[in-house]
Amino acid sequence: MAFFNDISLGLYYPKNSFLHNLDPRTKLIAVFLLMTAFLLSYKPLLLLSYVVLSAFIIVLSKLPLSLVFRNLRPFVWIFLLTFVVHLFWTPGRVIGSLPFFGIDLTVEGLLMGLVFSLRLVLLIIIAAVLTLTTSPIELTDALEKLFSPLSKLKVPTHEIVMMLTLSLRFIPTLLEEAQRLKNAQISRGASFEGNIVKKMKNVIPLILPLFISAFRRADDLALAMDSRCYAGGKNRTTFKQLSFGSHDYLAMTFCLGLLCTTVWLGR
């Protein structure tokens, strides 16, 4: 149940850093370019260079390392599963075998397992840095500006972006509520220890009250927005006007250069 305490997706960590001061549109574009570069990277040395780059990004953000890396803990099983699948089922030079299962371990499988697992780690770290350095309001404004051309096609961009941002914003709230429900169950004698099957069975009693709490919070939010005369995106303005600076263009150019380099090296 450490999952509830480890995920910081949707949280904003205020700080005066280079990344915090970037335009939110720049951060979204840069994250998209970096994630694309990660997904196109298959060479171990190239991925190791991206590990160094990610560490440099964390330093620029001035975020506590524990806050960033604690997002990885809930996904350890995914990393291990990805590594094992590629290790045992990738053909190549055999370095060992499992005698009772007839499965060969290959050098290529070992490399691919490390590459794919490392790519997942980098994706989660970059996503965490984005949400930790960008407030929900900034994300809403940035997404609305980026998707504004779609409004000419009668697409309700503001409403869609608002729903996405609210969903992201309520992730830590729902995790906190789940932790509160877990503590209440423990105080009544429930146990969340044991193997994974037992843990999953013990989580089931938390699902219904968590859904009820989520619907109640959604209803309260709708009433609050209605009482403030919220009327969607038509003719709405923003308190803070977004504008690109020289450092924004530099960051986007750098990330675009990394993506082009990755594509060129992968040819």
Q: Please determine, for residue 201, whether its predicted confidence score (pLDDT) is greater than 80.
A: no
Q: Check residues 176 and 35 and name the one with the higher pLDDT.
A: 35
pLDDT tens by residue, 151-176: 777 777 777 887 877 777 777 777 77
- ∠ CA 37-250-10 to the nearest 5 degrees? 60
Q: Taking the model in full, what pTM does it have?
A: 0.77
Does residue 96 sit in helix, strand or coil? strand
What percent of the chain has a predicted confidence (pLDDT) above 70? Answer: 87
- Main-chain dihedrals φ then ψ at residue 87, nearest 5 degrees: -65, -40
| CA distances for 239 relative to 138, 168, 180, angstroms | 11, 21, 35
